[in-house]
A and B are shown apart, each in its own frame.
Chain A
């Protein structure tokens, strides 16, 4: 051949593509209940910061909770999605479960970090739609979550036998939507730490649940 360079180039390119593809095919799985295109909307309501307020070095434990006497405000989130579908919420606390003094990046620096235990609770038993002013009621009735992941129906079926199966999706059909609420709260331990502002990011990922078999 007169242009061997082209061949090498093409061969390498194709090899690369095949390699990429083989990676994907290794993750073959059968998915049940993949609901695309019915987007979930997650909104952070006010207050949008889990603020433990002004604390004193050595003060000890500080709790924000939706139920009992709280030393700060719970952060509410609304999750709008298809009423009868399950959503899975994954909470990722700040790295090392610590909030850090401004300028510090090391969660192991005990003088400049404070341990937090971030928790969540959900509310899906409302009348459907936004609760508006009844957010306080929703908060009080919220279900505590153990761990950093939870799956629940956007709107829990009221008691009694299960209703008829939902209308299968078809052209022109808009499935009913509802709003569930998520509350983020937690505990902070104020040790003998340096003074100053402390903060950390909490990530919340919400998606429709998929029931997969590898």
Chain B
């Protein structure tokens, strides 16, 4: 009885081996195929829009010390009273800058005008002393690697027709990609 059981097991095992071998043989041949994978990539760095932010306003009142006769002159490169603007956009992108150089500002309470003649300097970084007058920069202006460019706004204020009071003025600058 024991011997016949071994025979039985042997038979079964042989059958299994045959059956197991058969599907392997029936499997498709080597497809000689080859798989490779590559990566598609891109880095999005910032918005394409240009944003302009006022860091500080031009301090006319504080600039009284700079008054000579009927005129106050704020040097955009050297004077702390210059207004500061920060433009941000595409890193390293070339830009073209234009601004209104002259503006008449009226007194809120009535008659009386101030006459502004702006001077603007720029630098691709927050370093006023390194900035150059926009009109005198002959090379292309460019955002820095972080996509930032700074402007300092100063100029001459003619006080000859000014009366005491509050004056509101604005400065218009236009920046565009080339």
Contact = CB atoms under 8 A, between A and B. Distances in A.
A is bound by B: yes
Interface of A: 2-3, 6, 10, 13-14, 17-18, 20-21, 24-25, 34-42, 44, 48-59, 62, 75, 77, 94, 99, 101, 114, 116, 118, 184, 186, 188, 190, 193-208
Interface residues of B, number: 35
Interface string B42-70: 11111111000000000000000000000
Contacts of A58: 47-49
A200 B41 CA distance: 7
A10 B15 CA distance: 10
A37 B44 contact: no
B32 interface: yes
A197 to B, nearest CB: 5
B44 A195 contact: yes
B37 A201 contact: yes
B29 interface: yes
Given A25-B26, A59-B48, A195-B46, A52 B40 contact: yes
Interface in B1-31: 1, 5, 9, 12, 15-16, 19-20, 22-23, 26-27, 29-31
A118 B16 CA distance: 48
A207 to B, nearest CB: 4
Given A40-B33, A58-B49, A116 B40 contact: yes
A159 to B, nearest CB: 29
A3 B5 contact: yes
Main secondary structure of the interface of A (DSSP, over half): strand
Given A10-B16, A52-B42, A195-B46, 5 more contacts: A49-B40, A56-B44, A193-B44, A195-B44, A196-B43
Nearest to A41: B34
A34 B38 contact: no
A202 B43 contact: no
A104 B15 CA distance: 52
A21 B40 contact: no
Contacts of B91: 54
